[in-house]
Structure 1
Amino acid sequence: MAKSAPGAPRRRGPNDPERRARIAKAAIEVVAQRGIDGVTHRSVAAAAGVPLGSTTYHFATLDDLLEVALHEAAEKNVHALKEWESALPPDADFAAALADLVMGYIHEQYRDTVVEYDLYVAALHRPALRKASAAWDDALIAFFGSRTDPLTGRLLAGLFCGLLMQAALADPRPTRDEIETLFRRAIHGPETPRSRD
């Protein structure tokens, strides 16, 4: 059996257990660079550094590629949300905390937010993606509901997603105070006018 030349890249066998995960991450990277329309088996294979046949072996259709990318993005988001929620003190000002969370998504994590919403919106035309997109919605409702109540949790999840999309597109973007005011209204309702003596 011939040995590889010194310094030559190690060939990965067909049973490479990490290859599927690398392809999934590469699909997200392609969405980030080129948008949904830029996702092809060839572009993802190039981004993953694998033969074209590997992408078609693991993911027969483009919807399969997009589905795994959306699952990967949703799992990453849910994990980050769990960490955020567990680090939040029980007596935290929840409206203020949610405003900070939105600001993080539209500033420091803007690129990831755009990718995730590209994939999320793709589910409108690709039924195969809807299960993965629903997982993110369900996680938001559960987390926000655990700090309020189930109905308010659903309201906050819808507001959160809508604000992220609007803020990502708006120029200028809404301020943190504006976002906090909306969350505060959703959580506490309108302020009761003071009675006049």
Structure 2
Amino acid sequence: MTREKAPAKSHRPANDPERREKIITAALATIGRVGVADTTHRRIAETAGLPLGSLTYYFSGLDDIIAAAFRQLSVQVSDHLMQIMMAAPDQAAARTALVDYLCDDGPVRTMDLILSFELYAYASRRPLLKTVMLDWMAASRRALQLHFTVQQANALDAMIEGITIHNAMNPKMLDQQHIRLIVERLSA
């Protein structure tokens, strides 16, 4: 009488459709915590709570993971701006919403800012990521164009980037009143 061995149980659910997204989310968290320069496959896997080998199953390499993470960031941030602009019933409300958005210094906005800085630096050395930046700018401008002309949207988008960077380095540089004045002048 021979006994058959039971098949080994896998710790991984078969065909986990969310695993790729877990990796991307973990990559963003890792980049936010340690920066792109110190982001590794191992750190991403640890953050995701996944085996190291799963990263190379879903992605061709670390650059591929980082690019996917930055694509997700750009979509999240531009979708958020679109929601803000869609919720505004008119241009005056859109101006107020934009000022509130720029003055938000909560943890989500702060992390988005840190990740944006990382993306700028990373994309400056990887031309393939330039499309991520251009797509993000185009999406932001489309959101702004719900209430502003093309020229106003372009100016407001550039202003958003500049104020965000300046206020990250010196939060007292431009207060809400100054930002409101700038938004009003650029959209008059």
**TM-score w.r.t. structure 1 length?**
0.83
Equivalent pair of 1:70/1:133 in contact (CA under 8 Å): no
Distance 1:168 1:49 in 2: 31
Equivalent pair of 1:24/1:68 in contact (CA under 8 Å): yes
Residue equivalent to 1:30: 30
Residue equivalent to 1:49: 49
Report matched runs for 1:1-197 at 5 Å: 1=6, 11-13=11-13, 15-104=15-104, 106-108=105-107, 109-188=109-188
> Which deviations, in whole Å up to 9, do the C-alpha atoms of 1:113-151 show, x marking residues without a partner?
212331233211112222222221011111212312112
Judging changes above 3 Å, is the alpha-carbon distance between structure 1 residues 68 and 3 closer, same or farther for their aligned structure 2 residues? same
More displaced, 65-74 or 141-150?
141-150
**TM-score w.r.t. structure 2 length?**
0.87
Q: Which runs of 5+ in 1 are unaligned?
A: 5-9, 189-197
Distance 1:74 1:14 in 2: 30
Residue equivalent to 2:3: none
Equivalent pair of 1:99/1:183 in contact (CA under 8 Å): yes
> Which deviations, in whole Å up to 9, do the C-alpha atoms of 1:38-66 show, x marking residues without a partner?
21111111111111111122222222111
Residue-pair matches, total = 182
TM-align CA RMSD: 2.0
Structure 1 stretches of at least 4 aligned residues deviating more than 4 Å after TM superposition: none
Distance 2:57 2:173 in 1: 43
What secondary structure does 1:92 align onto?
helix
Identity %: 27
